[in-house]
Amino acid sequence: MDEFNKRKPMTLRKRGIYLLPNLFTTGALFAGFFAIVQAMNSKFEIAAVAIFIAMVLDGLDGRVARLTHTQSEFGAEYDSLSDMVSFGVAPSLVIYEWALKGMGKWGWFAAFIYCCATALRLARFNTNIDVVDKRYFQGLPSPAAAALVAGFVWVMLDMGYDGETVRWYASAIAVFAGLSMVSNLPFYSFKDFNMRKSVPFLVIFLVALMFILISSYPPGVLFGLFLIYAMSGFVMWFVRRRKDRRPIA
């Protein structure tokens, strides 16, 4: 029931609180809260990893709810509130404490742009869920934006840079992620992938290769993947503009 998995209001049950999917949502919420606590204790690498763990748990709750037929209005609302903490407040606080704190008002201004954009992104997603093209997200999804911010912090720490050295790059990443979330750029949603259909052997091999690639250097590979995804919306928008401007023969 996150932004990567479409919630279906027509199938949501109006009553009842189901334990299993909400356990995953609670786990994602705890991971976001844990990231905030670790950032306050200056353990930024642990905080960044916690945000990625929140992403994994957030991606599972919706699938579990659909597989067990335990969707509910409560679960949908709880998921949105959890997303705000894990993908809005936590990343903005982590990057502020790590790099932006010494920039004065410009630092908290950049962090607030990201945090506010997440709230607006989640609100728009919940209200436009039956309006937009289901193949594409309208604006960068908040989990991807959080991964971009957390991935930047993680990879910079792994390379030996401190926040003070790359603070302007950090502020640019935070503002870029925030503005991308509230933009109208199309981002591929991967919703038309049917997990129940058979696939060629090559697909399984590529999935295994992806896991090997990520395990070889997690911070760099994850940051690179989500940076490519963040840029894909701009590329897709540019391609569409080019097509719209072509004269009709």
Task: Of 7-16, 57-66, 191-200, give the lowest mean pLDDT range.
Answer: 7-16
Please give the Cα distance from 52 to 31 (Å, whole number).
9
Q: Would you place residue 33 in the very low, low, confident or very high pLDDT band (cuts 50, 70, 90)?
A: very high
Task: Of 6-15, 46-55, 235-244, give the lowest mean pLDDT range.
Answer: 6-15
247 versus 217: the higher-pLDDT residue is 217
Query: Which is nearest to 153 in space by CA: 226, 56, 12, 49?
Result: 49
Query: Which is nearest to 149 in space by CA: 89, 216, 79?
Result: 89
**Predicted pLDDT at 175:** 97
Cβ atoms of 7 and 76 closer than 8 Å: yes
Mean pLDDT for the stretch of residues 115-140 = 85
Please give the Cα distance from 70 to 13 (Å, whole number).
8
**Structural domain spans, the chain:** 9-245
Q: pTM (2 decimals)?
A: 0.87
**Predicted pLDDT at 84:** 97
**Predicted pLDDT at 53:** 97
pLDDT of 101 higher than 90: yes
Query: Which is nearest to 232 in space by CA: 185, 167, 182?
Result: 185
Beta bridge partners of 13: 72
Class of domain 9-245: mainly alpha
Residue 111: both structure tokens together? 């962090």
- 183-231, pLDDT tens digit by residue? 999 998 876 666 667 767 787 888 888 889 989 999 999 999 999 999 9
Cβ atoms of 59 and 2 closer than 8 Å: yes
